[in-house]
Structure 1
């Protein structure tokens, strides 16, 4: 039988004061970053803190301040996509970089079911975070309604059509999609289709709108296949269906790089060569783009920069500063490789 380890007693300010030979008030002033402490006393206290292993009780301080120093990072996507989608990870890392510099913790919350929605609703209502960064919110998203009801400081990555009076950060998906579609037109492709993903989100619907803008009168609804997620599997299934609808398809805009990777696999299985027979473009410039054979022409989406900007807007709200609710758009660019 294993005996549980004895929990070590937590060092206190009193322990530091005895070791340093000063009052507890003097230790408290040093710990809280206040001035008016002599250099000699400060050095003695800092040495004592290291010796006794004192760690400030931030939970108690935050309780007094009514702050948690934590920001919720909410992703409304299936668990599998949260792991596989490099953009989500890069947005998270960018946000975490900015928040950590301001001494805030990032708490990751994934919404994959109604049970998750109920759990996160209780968590937010319990005051466990000072604000939230919300990724992939849908129209009529129940978490958005909770954020509004609680008047919780929030920044959205993306812009659901029913988002009111809450700031958002993102990219111009519509213009970027039009630009990448024109790469197919300029390559001389005549039968251009799209694997349109995630149309219940603004990113998906805006990319389809940009595709339509670029083609104008050449747009053919029959050449658009709608799939649920920005995933490899959906890309494969979408391309398979697109080939059944239009066997002579010669240009494809896949709504993400992961979708494009699946499309390339389906084209290979059908004996179609890229780019000789079919040109394929993606969106994101993620790790998927370079894993593909051939490497993808795609839209570079600066996901980490989007995350950093979302965190900056969040911190501004926590400081009580006014922020624009019309959106902060981060520029994109086209990266040309050998899939066109």
Structure 2
């Protein structure tokens, strides 16, 4: 009996054509926003392999808008100058460009930006939505419940469990930051936490508390900031006033850690001799503080890339699993390893 003939898959077409799976899907199904070179490469691969597209997939693909929205829970245009968001956007844009999809940025916390996003969703002028930094009960946190377009979150909404998200191991990062300070012999460790309505900030604080609890130490030395350098400086000053004997600090972002270093210097405290400091993110600023900042590295550009990849798979009819990206400690002068 003759063995059944192998049916070529879309992944094999994409591999042979040298394009992304999403670009191959769009080219096969006659969707817009596919370059001529990619369309011709896919057509050759289809002929060579004898690929036959699924009828349902063809019907879905021809309704594509050719664009993806990146919605951010903030209304300040200066946000896009923030190195964190700049790296996320670079990662997202690279994946969408490979798939011949446009990227539309929307500041959608409130006001005109929110209305624009609602209009895009109603008119289906996008194939899907990427959501960054939803806060607490922010309406963006429940976006997947009010649209049938695929929605992927960058970071999980606080108190919600979306089907699709990409996040960093924030709790693990907080834990390894505190463990590093403990390994240096620091026992009066404080935390400069981020906003209490942001999931990433809450998880980083929990990670620090986890490490201190295992060591039998108090996790009550906490002040909050908004991820800005000024808020980090203010939080550090507050902690020094309340706990003048503290000898270690974990800041929930590099920007806040940079502010903390400034406040420690103003208070006459030496870093790392008097107080060792560890940040979070591993932004460029971490290499240029005095001293350079020990920090938890999270793969920010990869976060954007994986968000876009997940959304493209959803657009193609797949159901990918949520993804947690690993983090690692980068040791520099603000909390150097013991000799």
TM-score of the superposition, structure 1-length normalised?
Answer: 0.77
In the TM superposition, residue 115 of structure 1 has moved relative to its aligned partner by 4.3
2:294 is the counterpart of 1:301: no
Residue 280 of structure 2: SS of its match in structure 1? coil
- 2 CA distance for matches of 1:214 and 1:154? 34
The question of whether the paired residues in 2 share the 8 Å contact of 1:235 and 1:260 is answered with yes
- 2 CA distance for matches of 1:164 and 1:35? 40
Task: Provide, for residues 176-207 of structure 1, a one-character-per-residue CA deviation record: whole Å limited to 9, x for no partner.
Answer: 11001111111111211011012211100000
- 1 CA distance for matches of 2:117 and 2:298? 29
In the TM superposition, residue 146 of structure 1 has moved relative to its aligned partner by 3.6
In the TM superposition, residue 246 of structure 1 has moved relative to its aligned partner by 0.9
2:102 is the counterpart of 1:93: no
Partner of 1:286: 283
- 1 CA distance for matches of 2:161 and 2:265? 45
What is the alpha-carbon root mean square deviation over aligned residues? 2.1
2:75 is the counterpart of 1:72: no
- 1 CA distance for matches of 2:263 and 2:159? 36
- 2 CA distance for matches of 1:160 and 1:219? 28
The question of whether the paired residues in 1 share the 8 Å contact of 2:75 and 2:113 is answered with no
The question of whether the paired residues in 2 share the 8 Å contact of 1:75 and 1:82 is answered with no
2:261 is the counterpart of 1:258: no
2:326 is the counterpart of 1:337: no
For structure 2, which runs of at least 5 residues remain unmatched after alignment?
1-35, 45-60
2:194 is the counterpart of 1:179: no
- 2 CA distance for matches of 1:112 and 1:164? 20
2:227 is the counterpart of 1:230: yes
The question of whether the paired residues in 2 share the 8 Å contact of 1:121 and 1:143 is answered with no
Residue 166 of structure 1: SS of its match in structure 2? coil
For structure 1, which runs of at least 5 residues remain unmatched after alignment?
1-29, 37-63
In the alignment of these two chains, the number of paired residues is 280
2:272 is the counterpart of 1:275: yes
Moved more, 123-132 or 148-157: 123-132
In the TM superposition, residue 121 of structure 1 has moved relative to its aligned partner by 2.3
In the TM superposition, residue 66 of structure 1 has moved relative to its aligned partner by 2.7
Distance 1:84 1:195, change over 3 A: farther
In the TM superposition, residue 81 of structure 1 has moved relative to its aligned partner by 6.2
2:109 is the counterpart of 1:134: no
- 1 CA distance for matches of 2:161 and 2:210? 26
In the TM superposition, residue 164 of structure 1 has moved relative to its aligned partner by 4.0
- Say which one has the larger Rg: 1
- 2 CA distance for matches of 1:202 and 1:282? 17
In the TM superposition, residue 330 of structure 1 has moved relative to its aligned partner by 1.4
In the TM superposition, residue 127 of structure 1 has moved relative to its aligned partner by 1.7
In the TM superposition, residue 117 of structure 1 has moved relative to its aligned partner by 2.5
TM-score of the superposition, structure 2-length normalised?
Answer: 0.77
- 1 CA distance for matches of 2:246 and 2:192? 12
Distance 1:127 1:308, change over 3 A: same
Distance 1:265 1:299, change over 3 A: same
- 1 CA distance for matches of 2:160 and 2:66? 26
In the TM superposition, residue 112 of structure 1 has moved relative to its aligned partner by 4.6
In the TM superposition, residue 165 of structure 1 has moved relative to its aligned partner by 4.7
- 1 CA distance for matches of 2:69 and 2:62? 19
The question of whether the paired residues in 1 share the 8 Å contact of 2:229 and 2:256 is answered with yes
